[in-house]
Amino acid sequence: MTQRRELTIFERGLHKGQHGASDISRILKIPRETCRDVIKRYCEEGLTEPTPRSGRPPLLTEHEERTLIRTVRGDRQESLQQLTAKFNDLSLTQLVLISRFR
């Protein structure tokens, strides 16, 4: 998958300045299809900013992470199995604990 950069508000605003997709692509040195896609999305949906990307969800919620860190700092001599037993009710698995503290 190729790395793509997002267009800035200025770059998107060139369309409002009466520039066409070909002019914008030549000025900004980006593909004409990219310009057309952004202009089309703006005209159809009124969107000027890119939609948020989903990404991978975190393994732990903020609350679970704070609780885990507080417990580990409380007794640093506990083994991984003992920590896992404490968090069984929070559904934290040994795999999550291992990946968090490696």
Q: Give the pLDDT confidence of 5-52 residue by residue, as tens digits.
A: 666 776 667 766 677 788 888 888 888 888 888 778 877 877 666 677
Task: With respect to residue 34, please indicate whether it lies within any of the assigned structural domains.
Answer: yes
Residue 69 lies in a domain: yes
Same domain for 66 and 95, yes or no, is: yes
Report how many domains make up the chain: 2
Q: How high is the pLDDT of residue 25?
A: 81
Decide if 56 is inside a domain. Answer: no
Residues near 93 by beta carbon (within 8 Å), at least 6 away in sequence? 84
pLDDT tens digits along 43-77: 787 766 667 777 888 877 888 788 778 877 877 88
Range of the domain at 15: 9-45
**With a threshold of 0.75, does the pTM exceed it?**
no
Same domain, 69 and 96: yes
Distance CA 74, CA 70 (A): 6
The DSSP secondary structure of 58-93, one letter per residue, reads PSS-HHHHHHHHHHHHH-TT--HHHHHHHTGGGT--
